[in-house]
Structure 1
Amino acid sequence: MRGYTPHFLFYLINLDPKYIIVRLKSVAILLSIVIFPLIGVGQSPPYINYKGGDQIPSSETYHVIQDTKGYIWVATACGVSRFDGYEFTTFTLKDGLPDNVIHEIYEDYKGRIWFVSYSGQLSYFFEGKIYPYKYNYLMTGIFAGGKGAVKCSFRVSHEDHILISVNRKGIFEIYPDGKLVKHYSEIGAGLIFKFQNDNTFPLLAWDISTKVNPTTTILADSSITLPIKDFVKINPSHLFATEKNGLFVISFGETYVICKGKETTSYTTTKPIIWISKGSDGLIWVSRYNEGVRCYNDVHLDKGELYKLFDGLSITSVCKDKEGGYWFSTYTHGLFYVSNLNSKTYFWHSLQFDHKKIMAIETFPKGLFVGFDNGDISIVNSNDTIESLSLPRIKKMDLYVNYIHYNQYSKDVLLLSNIFVYNIGNGQIQQFINEFTRKGSDKGISPRYAITYNTKTWIGTRLGLLIFDGQRVIYDSFKAGDFKSTVNALALAKNGTLWLGCSDGLWKFKNGKFEWMGEVMPFFRNRISRVAINPIDSSVWVGTRGGGIGVFNGSTLSFISTDDGLPSDIITSIAMGVDRVWVGSSSGVAQVSIVPDISGKYIVSGFDKSIGIVSNEILDLLPTDSTLIIGTRDGVLSYRLEDIRNQVKPKVLITKLSVNGRDTSVLNNLNLDYFQNNISISFAGFTYKTLRNTLFRYRLHESDSIYSYTRIPSVILPALSPGKYSFEVWAQNAYGQWSVSPAKFHFSILSPFWRMPWFVFLISVAGFLVFSFVFAFRLRVIKQHNILSRRLDGWKQQALLQQMNPHFIFNTLNSIQLFILQNDTRSSQRYLTKFAKLMRLTLENSQSFSVSFTNELEALRLYLDLEALRADKQFEFEIVVDGSLPLEANIPSLIVQPFVENAIWHGVMPKGKGGRIIVTFKFRENKVLCTIEDNGIGRVAASKYTSAKAHKSRGSEITTQRLQLLKSMYGQQLGIVYIDLKDSLDQPAGTRVELVIPILPAKNILD
């Protein structure tokens, strides 16, 4: 901004109907606008606090470390807790601790985690269990009369020697065989420190068991004796030492001493030092009682601190984890975690809920503008000083900042409030009234967004679009009647197209015309919150309030949503970076590849409050070449992009394996039986910035190209098939980076013996033999059953034939008797000859189930002759045979005769003279089609006639039973159709019966 200085004062000087010009006049008008210089980094950064009774067993914590695997260990007054990034596991007396009050935690060269308790009893954690130290009975005597273990003065040598320092009593060493040695007992009273395999924390001891030379400090390793000055007061409860670049820093009580060679310099503090350490990055951390913790870049602590954190608390230890996060244990407030100390946080009030809320942010060459909900503006300068500016207003009214826009052409800043618009530039503040408030209306048009190109500024408002030339509005879409939607965002493309993100969707403004894109694509009907232009491919990125992001390239629309990795589909900001797109949402920040990959998908990774953002509800994002400014309602974070690019990819570890519900200690190359196929695998991804929300991916075979994903650090693999498996799992950190290498677990599930080749062969052979025997036996039984069944059916058929023969014989003998009584010798003789011939055929045919068509036809002709003779020529008959019918074919015997008998006695005989019966045989599809047609009285009249007679014919009933037997014997069914014939007057004219007769096998089925 031209003319701007860090402490520049603005004053009101003029009023105008169009605007009020505020100029520098005198210090007396300071009542209107006040600027306060403040320090912006004096407060604690955003943190996570783990308190007692919630995640850890006690808020009284003494020591925090990270072991080589990645676990965070916390010593508390009620046991010790281990944190894997997902859950805390607490160990107490019931788990093997000899004492619940644990003061110190250390890891030795074997990976054993040692616990030093308040009473001096030792224990260690190894391979999932806690073991008490076997020489704890010696510790009772060592700690008797002392004041507990000296902080950070415990070692386990590679020979498994235990070295421990006890306040007031000195340094003790316990050998693996139980031998106890006290070191430097000849020195007497004095301060002793000894470096042992680690020059970060030497062993220290304050021994007052003798009165020899009580005022010397001895550097035992170098045999240097340094005098302690008289003013140094040694507090036996807190002794520390560290080394950097040949300098020894020693603290005890309220004093710390810097030693170089034989020169010493001592410093006295107002309160006792309870922790001092040097981190892996060389920073010195110092904690004093109830004064929080301070970080220094040099051992000369009087040169000023880099950080001052948790003022008012007593920090008992500091630990930097492998991701660059810091852990702080406290006496009374549990455990604190700070994910990033390099970033800067402004306007965050961790203990205040009524502080003013941030509404808008904007960068400019000299710093950062921040607008609040009470109308205040703060300017964060490059040196981290903060100046506060109160905007002038005409009368008392609620005033808040909607948007801040830096004009890179004029170097001015445009402030959009809910009522007024202000311009800061050239040492002046302009307040525009009538142009934006509708003649001073309190409601105004609520300008919400602004972009500038050359001398023109487009301003989106509650009531449409304005074009502003810096002094006046030259176009108002509402007044012109062109456009009246509420504009939330604007973006100007290189071709001059202005894109408007509105409450009713996306609009395009070009050549003075507005076009609603909701008519082009339904997605653009969503409420639009942000619009941005991709500088690489000129695609339009459209953020919505619930529909994610749409990327429009003029012809196609791509979608990016939570399914692709966005923290939320409610988009609050889209900012184009150099090599990526930054997306703010209601649930965190995402970085998206600026162009899609070869498959057309955008690569998305998200991070949230875990990296130090004050709130997951993002207000705006402002990327620069080296930083990302993240604005929220409760604070602004300046995050170094270097910290995002150089993140440590998380280590992942398989922690537990259960087979069929039982835990096993073997975590690799496990061979399991067939029934041991229900596997449960637990794992840990040591990334603490994901706030217990780590994403894992896993697969069962190295060749699998598709992964399964979970946020729960365990999987259950039920009912696995026999085979070889290679379970692999990766963890993702807060920045979307996966582990460099997975944690692996190789195991095999053996096939059961019944799936072995030899067993399968034996079972196959045995099964074949058994099957063959059973099949043969069953086949024989079925065959015997079928033979017996068919013989039984044959006997039934023969019995039915025998039933038919007496019936026909009785009727025929009645006719012969009639001729004899009538003394008609000629007719009796002719009739008797035919009857004898018919009886012979009947006797022959009744011996088998089927007869040739020739025999059946001859028997039928003889029967009709006899019946016609007996009826004294009352009817005539005709038998018509199709020439294609094979005469040698076998058909059921006497199957047609009963229907012919019905036609004679129930059809034509009741009629009297003129009866006629025609029997026709045709051959169709291996079946005989037989038609019996008479010109009798019809079935209705015949039924009345039959019911009046005492004797009822059983021929049809017997034939029906025979047809049922034929179906059971041969699997074929005889078709029977009755048709009532009518004359031209619709009177009964006879009956036609149509039969479908199966052709049967020539061989007798019973044979």
Structure 2
Amino acid sequence: MIKNIFLLVLVSASFLMQAQEPVSVHLSEKDGLPDKEFYSILEDENGFIWLGADKGLYRYDGKTFKNYNSEKQLGLSVFNIQQAPSGLIWCNNISGQFFYVENNKLNLFIDLGKQLNGQLADFIIKNEYLYILTLKKIYKVNLKTKSIEYNQPLTQRYGSIFKIDDRIYYENLNSIVPIVTEKKNKVTNLMSSRKESDTINNYNKNTKIFKVSANLVFRKDNFNSNRFYSINKSKNTLNLIHQFQVLSKERIYNTFENNKEIWFATSTGVWVFELKRNHFFLIKRFLKDRNVTNILKDKDDNYWFTTLNNGIYVIPNITIETCIITEPNKNISSLDIVNDSTLVFGNTNGNIGFYNTNTYVEKIIKLPSKDRVSKLKYLSNSNTVFISKDLSAYSLHINSLKLTKIEGARTAKSLTLLNNDNLLFTSYNSAIVLEKSNFKNEKKYISGEKRTYASFYNKINQTAYIAFVDNLVSYDNNWNSKKILFNNQPIYGKSITETANGTLWIATFKNGVLGIKNDTVIQHYTTKNGLTSNNVLMVKADQNKLWIALGNSIQVLDVDSKQLKTLTKSDGILSYDVSGIEIVREKVYFSSSQGLFSIHKDQSFKTQNADVYFNKVEINEKDTIITSKYSLKYHQNAINIGFNVNGFLYNQKRKYKYRLKGFNNAWLITDIGVNSVKYNSLPTGKYTFQVQPILDNTLGNNKIKSLIFTIRKPFWKTWWFLVALSILILGSTILYYRKKIKIKEHERVTQLEKISLEKELINLNLTALRSQMNPHFIFNSLNSIQDLVLKEDTNASYDYIVLFSKLIRNTLTYSNQDFIPLEKELDFLNIYLQLEKLRFGESFSYNIHFEGNENLEVPSLLIQPFIENALVHGLLHKVGEKKLSVIFNFTNSILQCTITDNGIGRKKAEEIANRQGNLHESFALQAIEKRLEIFKKQFNQNIGFTIKDSYTNETVKGTTVVLTMPFKKQF
């Protein structure tokens, strides 16, 4: 019995080497795939595909890959993606961190790095708890409190954590043990002991248990050799499964149960076994040169395969398969059917081949010349294949493989068998009937010097049809011709066939597909009513279904219901460059430049319900929160709405139907791949945007999704604004005249204030003049001059009399002017200080300086009182050297005068004044303060002065006056 099983496995494996493979689509960097190394894959309840990769966690919505990461993440790689009962997506990493996705962010749940010590642990979420299985312990973590409620130690632990019938199990050395999730649960081992002959030692962490239908299978990896056992729960025993012997040396990453099939993801691709009569049979193997790490079947029956270093492969349709044709013979130029298990094809290398659709074996027949096989035809009566090549022609007997050369039949465009077994041969320049009996004798010319593309013969009506370069022509039994027109225009055909209802179908170059009866076009299919292109390559009838090969898809038309279904490369179509179509039982075979592939007539067209959702709403080019209703201002009228259907490449082959009610109630259809609509400058009003997915030009059960927008009127068009505007105009008129009266009154008051200020300023100027003409100063000056006269210092006395007279004259002159040039002020101060120096003697020195080159005017007679204060109160009583500095500084449009002396300071000066009984404020400072206040009002500037003493080691070293003064610029 065992020997027979092993023989069965070997036969199955040998048979599989020739099996057809499902067509896969390779997703890589050019498709936007963000990584090439993947470990885990999951489809969530909303149809999103989640990928655990070397570079992080990603979510695929059918169009883009979104990355999720956390600032607290140690390392980018994530593993073991799961969806908890709450709907949250979970994963973990080698660093012992466990994450979940919530609010579109990856959040760290718990960090068990110290406990796990670099071990990538298995985990399962159940009943508000996170169960983590390591080599030595089981951790139970409360999802709400994050507390570890127990860490049960394990004496022996091999294999992974898994769930069967809503119970969590782990496998150790001698049993398969459930994890007790509640105290009331009774511990019942799935298998508590084994027969001595089945005791398995030296397990490692790759031990797994999986289900196939109702059967439990136990896999162990013992010294890098896989062995598989079926678990008999009733007898509590293990039975070795011999059919999996071919996997003994394979590195198995994961398993995937698919109905009664078990799929193995291994380092040498995918192995598929089917369970029949309690035995496993190897039925498929594909992606043989890829490290396949995980397998997923999504809601649309697409199969996903993650790999190490090769990105992701997707099989959109498991029933669309590529036939195993050797590489040199894949470029097939012609195809025909021999019987219900054999196809014959010719290729561009000049050879022909036979393909067995049962055993999946090809047999290549090499022909003498290497020129391309342009067309071939199987002739059942003689069991021969008529072969027309570019430069020659042959007849091949299938049984004897006898090859006979035929003259004058090269470069065929079409070969059609007639009622009397004659052959209608059309080429690039003629249409000929070749008589039977090896086609060597008589030839009947139907047409000459005209290119043809296709031909067809209706045996019932005995009518032949030929598609010429300039027209479609029908011929009766006597070869009388008749042109067939469509809308009084020629028909340019490429391929001709006939369905069971008697309709002749023509594939055209740019006018879609035409259905003809009684030489009249009765049906017409274009892109307007379902075709994906108006350039049709080939048509082939199968009862009342019409298979249509186009440059961008393969479609099938049910001529009774007039429904079209579509398959594209995203569905697994190998190539659009179709050179032949043949029907073999439940499959349709297509030849192409990429080889031979088949489509299951019924199973290849998947029923799909597309659930559309809104993924973007932009208002005036700014993202906003997606909600069901929007109330917008009148200027928020540029709206961009994005929508999507989750699923593999949905947006690369499907369309959407949409409209904006309130703006245009007519439904519109997007182009393929377009999943957003933008409206610019919408007028005010209420709108409802509706969108619905279209599958194969039908709406099916797909729901309409809606958004409501209200764009409010601008405030100036509302009734309340118009009423308010009327009131405002009336009130404004009243206010205007009131304001005008107030302005007049204000101007009158201002004028009066100006006159008052001018009077006050005149009085202040007179006060300043009186302070400048202080009798004490005049007396001192005259005494000093008299002293010079008595000393008979005639020259000096004369000079000082001149200076004194100049000072008096300038004082009288400047007292009548509000502003004088700065240089005159400097000159005035210099004369004054020269006279004072006569009194103070050689111990007194002074410095007057202006730091700037602007032409300025300053208030007249404003500085001298401050200088006199410095002299009288600061320097007069000082013993030793007496210094005075007067510095003008003009910076940032501010004019300041800094007067610095090295006198005795204000405190000592006040003490001396008190002793002398001089209690009044010296030299008209009160008048100066009032004058500065007036200037402050006039110029609206910060004008004034500050006085402070300077100290060295708490000893007064002098006094500084900083005067900020108004100015005018000279032009």
Q: 1:847 corresponds to which residue? A: none
Aligned length: 696
Sort the Cα spacing of 1:181 and 1:158 in 2 relative to 1 into closer, same or farther, 3 A: closer
1:20-169 equivalences in 2 (<5 Å)? 41-42=18-19, 44-52=21-29, 55-93=32-70, 99-133=75-109, 135-136=110-111, 139-144=112-117, 147-150=119-122, 154-159=123-128, 161-169=129-137
Q: What is the CA–CA distance in structure 2 between the aligned matches of 1:202 and 1:50, rounded to whole Å?
A: 35
Answering whether residue 388 of structure 2 is matched by residue 416 of structure 1, we say yes
2:689 to 727, 740, 744: 727
Instruction: Assess if the C-alpha contact under 8 Å between 1:627 and 1:641 holds in 2.
Output: yes
Deviations 1:783-830 (A, max 9, x none): xxxxxxxxxxxxxxxxxxxxxxxxxxxxxxxxxxxxxxxxxxxxxxxx
Matched, 1:509 2:494: no
2:600 aligned residue: 640
1:305 aligns with 2:282: yes
The whole-number CA distance in structure 2 between the counterparts of 1:720 and 1:455 is 70
| 8 Å contact from structure 2 (residues 212, 257) kept in 1 | no
Q: Using the alignment, how far apart are the partners of 2:321 and 2:37 within structure 1?
A: 29
> Which residue of structure 1 lines up, in the alignment, with residue 512 of structure 2?
548
2:542 to 571, 577, 586: 577
Q: Which one of the candidate residues 703, 716, 724 is aligned to 2:678? A: 716
Superposition pairs of residues 652-801 of structure 1, within 5 angstroms = 652-688=612-648, 692-701=652-661, 704-710=665-671, 711-733=673-695, 735-736=696-697, 738=699, 740-742=701-703, 744-752=705-713, 754=715, 758-759=719-720, 762=723
Code of the aligned partner of 1:449: L
Q: Equivalent residue for 1:378?
A: 353
Post-superposition offset of 1:446: 3.8
Displacement of 1:165 in angstroms is: 2.5
AA of the residue aligned to 1:549: V
Describe how 1:796-835 pairs up with structure 2 within 5 A: none
Match of 2:582 in 1: 622
- What secondary structure, in the 3-state scheme, does the structure 2 residue paired with 1:759 have? helix
Q: Quickly say closer, same or farther: Cα 1:295–1:495, change in 2 above 3 A.
A: same
Q: Distance in 2 between matches of 1:270 and 1:625?
A: 37
What is residue 286 of structure 1 aligned with on the other side? 264
Q: How far apart, in 1, do the equivalents of 2:632 and 2:359 lie?
A: 63
Note if 1:259 corresponds to 2:202. Answer: no
Asked if the contact 2:589–2:597 (Cα under 8 Å) also holds between the matched residues in 1, the reply is: yes
**What's the CA shift for 1:375?**
3.5
Contact 2:373 2:387 in 1 (8 A): yes
Query: In 2 relative to 1, CA 678–481 (structure 1 residues): closer, same or farther, beyond 3 Å?
Result: closer
Equivalents in 2 of 1:628, 1:768: separation in Å?
A: 82
Once the 2 structures are TM-superposed, how far is the Cα of residue 202 of structure 1 from its aligned partner?
A: 4.9
- Distance in 2 of aligned mates of 1:53 and 1:375: 36
- Pairing 1:396-545 to 2, within 5 Å after superposition: 396-407=368-379, 413-423=385-395, 427-429=399-401, 431-437=403-409, 444=410, 446=412, 448-473=414-439, 480=445, 482-493=447-458, 494-510=460-476, 512-513=478-479, 515=481, 517=483, 523-524=489-490, 526=492, 528-536=493-501, 538=503, 540-545=504-509
- What letter corresponds to residue 470 of structure 1 in structure 2? K
TM-score by length of 2: 0.64
Deviations along 1:475-495, one digit per CA (max 9) or x if unpaired, are 977x75843323321122453
2: CA distance, partners of 1:682 / 1:68: 21
Deviation, structure 1 residue 559: 4.8
Q: Give the 5 Å matches for 1:133-282.
A: 133=109, 135-136=110-111, 139-144=112-117, 147-150=119-122, 154-159=123-128, 161-182=129-150, 184-185=152-153, 187-191=154-158, 199=165, 202=168, 204=170, 215-220=174-179, 222-223=188-189, 224-227=191-194, 229=198, 231-236=200-205, 238-244=206-212, 246-253=214-221, 254-261=226-233, 262-266=236-240, 269-271=247-249, 273-282=251-260
Work out the CA distance in 1 between the residues paired with 2:488 and 2:318: 45
Q: CA deviation at 1:68?
A: 1.4
C-alpha deviation, 1:70, in angstroms:
1.1
Tell me by how many angstroms 1:472 deviates: 4.8
Aligned to 2:770: none
Residue 589 of structure 1 is matched in structure 2 by: 554
- Structure 2 distance, partners of 1:690, 1:178, is 40
Do the aligned residues in 1 keep the contact of 2:254 with 2:293 (CA within 8 Å)? no
Give distance in 1, aligned partners of 2:53 and 2:47.
19
Bigger shift: residues 219-228 or 318-327 = 219-228
Choose the corresponding residue for 1:335, options 312, 320, 331. Answer: 312
Name the CA distance, whole Å, in 1 between partners of 2:488 and 2:311: 52
- Deviation string for 1:322-351 (max 9, x for gaps)? 1211111112211111112233321467xx
Q: Is the 8 A contact 2:612 2:692 kept in 1?
A: yes
Deviation at 1:302, TM superposition (A): 7.8
Structure 2 residue identity aligned to 1:275: Y
CA distance in 1, matches of 2:631, 2:643: 20
Distance 1:483 1:319 in 2: 59
For the residues of structure 1 that align with 2:382 and 2:435, how far apart are their CA atoms?
11
Secondary structure of the corresponding residue to residue 259 of structure 2:
coil
Amino acid aligned to 1:114: W
Partner deviation per Cα, 1:172-194 (whole Å, 9 max, x = no partner): 43442122134642x52134776
Which stretch of structure 1 is more off in the superposition, 118-127 or 71-80? 118-127
Q: In structure 1, the residue corresponding to 2:681 is in which secondary structure? A: coil
Alpha-carbon deviation of 1:357? 1.2
Q: Does the 8 Å CA contact 2:69/2:105 hold for their aligned counterparts?
A: no
CA gap of 1:476–1:386, structure 2 versus 1, over 3 A, is same
Q: Which amino acid aligns with 2:436?
A: G
* Contact 1:252-1:273 within 8 A present in 2 as well: no
1:361 paired with 2:361, answer no
Given that 2:553 and 2:567 are in contact with CA atoms closer than 8 Å, whether structure 1 keeps it comes out as yes
* Distance across 2 between alignment mates of 1:40 and 1:239: 29
Give the Cα–Cα distance (whole angstroms) in 2 for the partners of residues 63 and 607 of structure 1.
29
Which digits, 9 at most, give the CA deviation of each residue in 1:442-471, with x for residues without a partner?
xx4546322333533322233422223431
> 1:344 and 1:117, CA in 2 relative to 1: closer, same or farther beyond 3 A?
same
| Distance of aligned partners of 1:709 and 1:471 in 2 relative to their CA distance in 1, 3 Å threshold | same
Is contact 2:323–2:360 with CA below 8 Å preserved after alignment? no
Q: Deviations over 1:824-880 (max 9, x none)?
A: xxxxxxxxxxxxxxxxxxxxxxxxxxxxxxxxxxxxxxxxxxxxxxxxxxxxxxxxx
In structure 2, do the counterparts of structure 1 residues 673 and 235 end up closer, same or farther at CA, with 3 Å as the change threshold?
A: farther
In structure 1, distance between residues paired with 2:724 and 2:439: 95
CA distance in 1, matches of 2:30, 2:356: 43
1:245/1:611 CA distance change after superposition, 3 Å:
closer
Name the SS of the counterpart of 1:306 in structure 2: strand
